[in-house]
Homo-oligomer: A and B are copies of this chain.
Amino acid sequence: MQYSVGVEYALHCLVYLIPNESTIGIKELAFFQGIPETYLSKIFTKLTKAGIISSVPGVKGGFKLARDPDDISFWDIVEAVEGKKPIFQCQNIKDKGYLYRDRDCSGCEVSTSSCSINLVMLEAEETMQNYLRSKKLSWLEEELDRVLPAQTRKETRAFFAKGNSINASE
């Protein structure tokens, strides 16, 4: 059980969009990180639909953040890529069970009451979501400034600054 790599791609890519001075294309992002373009483009479609980034088609097009980095949380990104389905989904095996499978139980209390196990799992997941909601892209930007060598940060920003960006062609 794991999140898809799409989540990792999305989180890492969005770091580069934070400066938000110009649009950045899929090609540049994929080349810079050594990851496949086609898959990344699908991830970006999801992020666009979720309103996290906005797309600019055509020559000199690309993507930029659609909201303030302080208004984009880790959870927004995970949810956009992975969807809204909970990690644990109870398939209500009770209903297939010996006590009920041969009875018509459409109206009785057991079939309407929700599974206690399911509730616990949902609550557990919610604590995780709340933690991720509290971490914003703006925080990540500061954290990276603190943690990464200044040289690395500078080179990275230089790569994505428009003008010298024809480096995407090897």
Interface, chain A (partner B; CB < 8 A): 1-5, 7-9, 11-12, 15, 31-35, 74, 82, 85-91, 93-94, 96-99, 101, 109-110, 113, 116-117, 120-121, 123-125, 127-128, 130-132, 135, 140, 143-144, 147-149, 152, 155-156, 159
Bound form: Cα–Cα A132–B140 in Å: 28
Output the least CB separation between A76 and chain B (Å). Answer: 13
Decide: A101 and B132 in contact? CB cutoff 8 A. no
The reply to whether A8 and B87 form a contact with Cβ atoms under 8 Å apart is: no
When A1-B4, A85-B2, A123-B131 are in contact, do A152 and B34 touch as well, CB less than 8 Å?
no
Are A33 and B98 CB-contacts (below 8 A) given A74-B120, A88-B3?
Answer: yes
Contact A149–B110 (Cβ < 8 Å): yes
How many identical subunits does the complex contain? 2
Residues of B within 8 A of A125 (CB): 128
Q: In the assembled complex, which residues on chain B have CB atoms less than 8 Å from the CB atom of A91? A: 5, 8
Q: Is B1 in contact with A2, judged by CB distance below 8 angstroms?
A: yes
Instruction: Give chain B residues whose Cβ lies under 8 Å from the Cβ of A109.
Output: 149
Whether A110 and B1, one on each chain, are in contact in the complex, defined by CB atoms closer than 8 angstroms, is no
13 inter-chain pairs at a CB distance below 8 angstroms, sorted by A residue, are A1-B3, A1-B82, A2-B85, A2-B86, A2-B89, A8-B91, A32-B98, A33-B97, A35-B93, A99-B156, A120-B140, A123-B131, A125-B128
B8-A90 in contact (CB<8A): yes
